[in-house]
Amino acid sequence: SARTSPLVALENVQHFSAEGLCTLLESVSGFVLHEDFRLEMVPEKSTAVVILLKRIDAEEFVKFCAESNRLTKFKITAKLLEETHSIKAENIPGGVSTDHVTVNFENVSNGGGPVVDVQLLPKGHLATATFCSPKAAS
């Protein structure tokens, strides 16, 4: 079974800006932005990803969100994200080779690591990379 990561998806956040959602999370949780968590909005999915910093238990955070009257009032739901070995890259220029993409994903200074497989989807200018370790995919 997949291990959980320190990532939590907050769904139904389409009515919030990143700043507004951060303020809401800070007020209901007592957490501090950039100290306890970071937030990335995924507007096309009406979702935000909370990156828990330090040693905050993601399962406890999800439970807390489910019990928060303020979050449920806005119909915001939280769920754990599983660690993944793969990522999708967008806007890959046409004519780029699989080897070139692999070298970029394996570049440790960019946060990469050993790559098992790269698939290019030239029509969509996409690539998927599968890493040996989920840490490199995060």
Percent of the chain with pLDDT over 70: 93
**Residue with the larger pLDDT of the pair 136 and 132:** 132
What does the block give as tokens for 117?
């497989």
pLDDT at 12 over 90: yes
Same domain, 72 and 116: no
For residue 79, name the pLDDT band (cuts at 50, 70, 90): very high
Q: Per the confidence metrics, is the pTM higher than 0.85? A: no
Domain count within the chain? 2
As to burial, measured by CB atoms within 10 angstroms (0-12 exposed, 13-18 middle, 19+ buried), residue 99 is exposed
Q: Are residues 65 and 94 in the same domain?
A: no
pLDDT of residue 2: 42
Regarding whether 93 and 130 lie in a shared domain, the answer is yes
Instruction: Write the CATH number for 110.
Output: 3.30.70.330
Whole-angstrom Cα distance, residue 138 to residue 132?
12
**What does the alpha-carbon distance between residue 15 and residue 32 come to, in Å, rounded to a whole number?**
22
Mean pLDDT confidence for 76-100: 87
Other beta carbons within 10 angstroms of residue 110's beta carbon come to 9
Instruction: Report whether 58 contacts 4 (CB < 8 A).
Output: yes
**pLDDT tens for each residue of 22-69:** 999 999 999 999 999 999 998 888 999 999 988 888 899 999 999 999
Q: Which of 16-25, 67-76, 111-120 has the lowest mean pLDDT?
A: 111-120
93 shares its domain with 76:
no
Task: Indicate whether 62 and 15 sit together in one domain.
Answer: yes
Same domain, 76 and 131: no
Q: What is the reported pLDDT for 3?
A: 45
Convert the pLDDT of each residue in 50-61 to its tens digit.
Answer: 999 888 888 999
Alpha carbon 2 to chain centroid, angstroms: 15
- Secondary structure, 3-state, the chain: CCCEEEEEEEECCCCCCHHHHHHHHHHHHCCCECCCEEEEEEHHHCEEEEEECCCCCHHHHHHHHHHCHHHHHCCCEEEEEECCCEEEECCCCCCCCHHHHHHHHHCHHHCCCCEEEEEEEHHHCEEEEEECCHHHHC
Q: Which domain holds residue 109?
A: 86-137
Question: Predicted confidence band at 18 (pLDDT cuts at 50, 70, 90)?
Answer: very high
